[in-house]
Amino acid sequence: MKQTILLPAGILLALGLGCSSQKAPEPEKHCALTGEIKALDDKSQTATIQHQAICDWMDAMTMEYPVQSKEEFAQLKVGDKITATVNIKGMNYSLSGVHKQNAAK
């Protein structure tokens, strides 16, 4: 008797979670990034970073991240090893709190 009640409830829960990514308002999520700068694009203020896994949001890979602060972006050099915070909201993401682990000379 119990199982006939619990099973449909479990299916409904799974369906609800599956649809959650399509709902509009998502809270901003903050995750730590550790990686190395591979390229910089001044125009878009974007850094291409080879990074380790970021929360459960993304596996280790190399990709581009917009840097929020002009001042922080201006100090970055290709080859810098950095830590930063990834600010994730829906499909959008950007970096803040960028810190160099070893300043390239």
Looking at beta carbons only, is 31 or 58 nearer to Cu ion? 58
> Which among 13-21, 30-38, 58-66, 91-99 is the span making contact with Cu ion, rule CB under 5 A?
58-66
Q: Does 58 interact with Cu ion (rule: CB under 5 A)? A: yes
Q: What is the 3-state secondary structure (H, E, C) of 30-66?
A: EEEEEEEEEEEECCCCEEEEEECCECCCECCEEEEEE
Q: Tell me if 31 contacts Cu ion by CB under 5 A.
A: no
Could you tell me the smallest distance in angstroms from the CB atom of residue 75 to Cu ion?
23
How many positions of this chain bind Cu ion (CB under 5 A)? Answer: 3
Q: Footprint of Cu ion on residues 60-99 (CB under 5 A)?
A: 61, 63
CB closer to Cu ion, 40 vs 51: 51
Q: How far apart are CA 4 and CA 19, in angstroms?
A: 24
Could you say which DSSP state residue 99 is in?
A: E
Q: Which residues contact 104 (CB under 8 A, 6 or more apart)?
A: 77, 78, 79, 80
The answer to whether 104 touches 80, Cβ cutoff 8 Å, is yes
| Cβ nearer to Cu ion, comparing 62 with 96 | 62
Return residues touching Cu ion (CB under 5 A).
58, 61, 63
